Amino acid sequence: MAFWDQLPILSGYAIISKEHVRIALAAGLILIFIGLVFTFHLLGRKTIVVNSLNEARQWMRFFYVSFLKPHNGDAGNSQQGALESFYKAQADAYDTTRKRLLRGREEMLALVAAQLKFQYGATPKPHNKPVWIDVGGGTGWNIEAMSQFLDVPKFFSEVYIVDYSPSLCEVARSRFVRLGWNNVQIVCEDAKVFNLGKRKATLITMSYSLSMLPNLHVFIDHLASLLDSKGIIGVVDFYVQSGVEAAGRNYIGGTMQRHVNWLGRTFWRAWFDLDRVGLEGARRDYLEYRFGTLKSIDERNYILGGYSGISIPYYIFLGRLISSNSARAHVERLDAACTESPYLMPQEASFQAQPEIDIEVRSKAYRSALINLTANLPLPSTFYQNYPYRIYYEEQHQKHLQFGNSFIYAFTWEDSRIDQRLLKIKEDDVILCLTSAGDNLLDYLSSCNPRRIHAVDLNPNQSHLLELKVAAYQAVEYVDFWKMFGEGRLPGFRRVLLEQMSPYLSSQALQFWLNQENIFSSSHGLYEYGGSGHAMKLIRRLLTVLGLRGAVKRFIGAKTLNEQRELWPKIKSVLLNRFLHSMFIGSQFLWKAAGVPPAQAAMITRDYANQDHLDTNKQPTSKDEAEAMWQYITNTLDPVARDTLISDENFYYLLTLNGKYTRRCHPPYISAKAHARLSKPGAFDGLRIHTDEINEVIAKIRAGTLSIAIIMDSMDWFNPQGPEAAVQIAALNRALKLGGRVLLRSAGLKPWYTPVFERFGFDARRTAARLPGTCIDR
């Protein structure tokens, strides 16, 4: 017999049904939990400190109204009656008690303000001032809070607070009488009937009101009718959704931490339902269906602090109206830029699959957009961004998920000075290159200004890093730019990200950096994160254990090459000793930490085994593998220490040993000159960031349109027995115009794939080789 069936009688005087027992126990558990929440909330040192008896009474009243008082509404059971039943007794306590519970409101306002300043400038012209409607604005807290980002009385021509609760509206009226803001109007009526006549709103915001409104679809449709064609809508609210619900939706702006587990979904739905707050997924779903996604952020409110693991999920959404006519033309133009195809289709032309006569290929972005438009869905969120740098990619594809939430390279190791000397990049060049950390391609843009650069990386987080650098050029002053990428640290990074850089970032990149904000605020800094960062930390810890930190500090601070050369033997004798060799270098531990693939390590080993007669058929022994790495490091470090002054020009080794750059020695892209050039309007018009395999991108580029391909050492990763090299070289042959060039680097003295290039019509020429005593770059 079930437990509930054994409990028909709970006292000698009353018979209580098992349904009532369930309700009573559930209510008791919820009240105990909430009591604990507010006990910690009121007493916790990092939350609200109760400074007065009045504030304590406000919290007690909030607790009573929210969880004990019945909300019957008026006799007609109207929506206004229900709202007033809930808010009337706590109207004057609303702002005090919501600061901790309703998180994300200021972040939403910061994002909205940044977008408005991007569109209108810091001070709009008098005839072009925005109109703002705050739906469910209650006490007017949002309007006053916006003043930390915008001058509300001067920036907006009119501000409307629309709320259905008379008690909250009265608090709002008192607020703006006190502030003396004459452009704010309080409208106490149902938002579904509110209208501006022939005028349209530039901005509509909703803070924790969408989850409380009935007639969801009618309401959102009405808001869309109030919004100007270039207007934006900002929403922050609670939500609970499974990741499965978002699967297959390419228009929602990211799914990085959207998933809420079953327990969280069940509990928060039940808890909020007590106050008629609906967390069904359809509310957010319809919002994202009705508006194109500009930004979509998923966050957690750790109400008991992060240590508890208890969090309320909430989201921030910024959207804009969907215009099918302009969307079609925009998709065509972007597709032309992705594929280097001519833009042939006028705006008024029908958006149907075209015979591929003049246009040879279509990008993945085009095909995804075509599917969405055919199904009457919004475009993928990348199409709604302010700039078309980032190209749509299948975020949930396993080939992207394999990288988790981490990039591998925080900086680029290849020497861009050599690239430019060999390639002689000109303004009419179209370049395809690997993204890595983006350092080199930013150097190409600042010094050579090629017509187009296609940056390609399979790891989406590398593209997020490049997006951040591009946004920083355009949004922050040089002093903060230097802190971010010269020193790797920026106090207040989250604020700068929201208030300044967000308009220049895709939704996915913004979510990534909000999640990773500690990178710039920690004591370690940017360059100690990612795969390369792990290797750097290991190297510096090893130097500490070996007692070399002081010697290395003097070494990287040497003013002349002679001084540097005198210091090197002491460091080398300790660093390159046989014990260290057997423990670390011989086992290839450092190589794996630095992201060196086994196929590349095998090339180094093969060169060592065949150094006298380069017979690639000879199989190396395990002793060969250990000695090969030893020789490779020795041949690398000796000439670098002898021929390049680390403190003055070799910023690659300076960063590795120092953890940050110096004003004297840093990559060209971090210079004040590069910042001045790349912060100008249009500096990145030719940049396209592809998150995909390099073969996939090359295959979608029109034949004979690339002039340069820079593939770094990517072919060293291929299996010599596999078909990958031949496939990629054939694709490069097709995409490059006659006279186009490919620049590659290899850890091997005679890469096995060089003959494959020659077989496909390339003239292969080795420009430098890593031989004993030779330093081929920095």
201-207, strands of its sheet edge to edge: 184-188, 158-163, 131-135, 201-207, 227-238, 312-320, 292-301
Convert the pLDDT of each residue in 428-458 to its tens digit. Answer: 999 999 999 999 999 999 999 999 999 999 9
Question: Can you give the pLDDT at residue 760?
Answer: 93
Most confident range (mean pLDDT) of 142-156, 587-601, 711-725 is 142-156
Distance CA 395, CA 530 (A): 20
* Alpha-carbon distance values, 215 to 220, 221, 679 (Å): 9, 10, 46
Question: Can you give the pLDDT at residue 603?
Answer: 84
Question: Can you give the pLDDT at residue 321?
Answer: 92
pLDDT average, residue stretch 563-572: 92
Q: Which two tokens stand for residue 471?
A: 């946004």
In degrees to the nearest 10, what's the CA dihedral of 664, 670, 671, 673?
180
| DSSP tally for the chain: helices H, then strands E | 34, 12
Q: Which amino acid is at 90?
A: Q
Confidence of residue 45 (pLDDT cuts 50, 70, 90): very low
Min mean pLDDT across 138-152, 359-373, 470-484, 644-658 is at 359-373
Question: Can you give the pLDDT at residue 6?
Answer: 37
SS3 275: coil
CA dihedral sign, ordered 557, 563, 565, 570: negative
Question: Can you give the pLDDT at residue 534?
Answer: 85
User: How many other C-beta atoms are found inside a 10 Å radius of the C-beta of residue 332?
Assistant: 22
For the chain, what is the largest distance between any 2 Cα atoms, rounded to a whole number of angstroms? 101
Convert the pLDDT of each residue in 234-270 to its tens digit. Answer: 999 999 999 888 888 889 998 888 999 998 999 899 8
Distance CA 434, CA 415 (A): 14
Distance CA 348, CA 666 (A): 50
Q: Which amino acid is at 478?
A: Y
Distance CA 473, CA 244 (A): 37
Convert the pLDDT of each residue in 621-630 to its tens digit. Answer: 666 777 787 7
Distance CA 133, CA 226 (A): 9
Q: Which amino acid is at 244?
A: V
Q: Which amino acid is at 394?
A: E
Q: Which of 624, 595, 584 is nearest to 459 (CA)?
A: 595
Question: Can you give the pLDDT at residue 102?
Answer: 84
Structure-token match 């957690």, residue found: 300
Distance CA 539, CA 564 (A): 19
Contact 594, 411 (CB under 8 A): no
Contact 380, 507 (CB under 8 A): no
Distance CA 413, CA 536 (A): 13
Residues 6+ apart with CB under 8 A from 189: 162, 164
Residues 6+ apart with CB under 8 A from 501: 468, 471, 472, 475, 476
Contact 401, 247 (CB under 8 A): no
Question: Can you give the pLDDT at residue 678?
Answer: 97
Convert the pLDDT of each residue in 64-114 to its tens digit. Answer: 555 555 556 554 556 655 555 555 555 555 555 567 778 899 999 999 999
Q: Which of 404, 463, 452, 408 is nearest to 430 (CA)?
A: 452
* Alpha-carbon distance values, 234 to 202, 225, 338, 387, 420 (Å): 11, 15, 30, 19, 45
Convert the pLDDT of each residue in 194-234 to its tens digit. Answer: 999 889 999 999 999 999 888 889 999 999 999 999 999 99
Q: Which amino acid is at 748?
A: G
Confidence of residue 276 (pLDDT cuts 50, 70, 90): confident
Integer Rg of the chain from CA: 31
706-712, strands of its sheet edge to edge: 687-691, 452-457, 430-434, 706-712, 736-744
Q: Residue 94's beta-bridge partner residues?
A: none
Burial of 355 (0-12, 13-18, 19+ CB in 10 A): exposed
8-state DSSP, 428: T
Residues 6+ apart with CB under 8 A from 514: 297, 299, 494, 497
User: How many other C-beta atoms are found inside a 10 Å radius of the C-beta of residue 149?
Assistant: 19
pTM of the model: 0.86
Confidence of residue 7 (pLDDT cuts 50, 70, 90): very low
User: At residue 710, does pLDDT exceed 80?
Assistant: yes
Distance CA 502, CA 116 (A): 11
Convert the pLDDT of each residue in 661-709 to its tens digit. Answer: 999 999 999 999 999 999 999 999 999 999 999 999 998 999 999 999 9
Mean pLDDT, the chain, whole residue set:
84
pLDDT average, residue stretch 734-763: 93
Query: Which residues of the chain does CATH 3.40.50.150 include?
Result: 98-321
Residue 110 φ then ψ, to 5°: -65, -45
Q: Output 752 or 589, whichever has higher pLDDT.
A: 752
Distance CA 181, CA 564 (A): 66
Question: Can you give the pLDDT at residue 48?
Answer: 42
Distance CA 749, CA 755 (A): 13
The crossing angle, in degrees rounded to 10, of helices 18-43 and 53-67 is 160
Question: Can you give the pLDDT at residue 15?
Answer: 44
Three-state DSSP string of 63-119: HHHHHCCCCCCCCCCCHHHHHHHHHHHHHHHHHHHHHHHCCCHHHHHHHHHHHHHHH
pLDDT average, residue stretch 715-730: 92
User: At residue 620, does pLDDT exceed 70?
Assistant: no
Min mean pLDDT across 53-67, 113-127, 193-207, 760-774 is at 53-67
Contact 461, 395 (CB under 8 A): no
Contact 668, 447 (CB under 8 A): yes
Q: Which of 651, 757, 749, 650 is nearest to 711 (CA)?
A: 757
In degrees to the nearest 10, what's the CA dihedral of 97, 103, 105, 108?
180
Which CATH number is correct for 98-321, 3.40.640.10, 3.40.50.720, 3.40.50.150, 2.30.42.10? 3.40.50.150
Q: How far is CA 674 from the centre of its chain?
A: 24
Q: Are strands 227-238 and 312-320 parallel, antiparallel or unpaired?
A: antiparallel
Question: Can you give the pLDDT at residue 684?
Answer: 96
Distance CA 9, CA 3 (A): 13
pLDDT average, residue stretch 647-659: 93
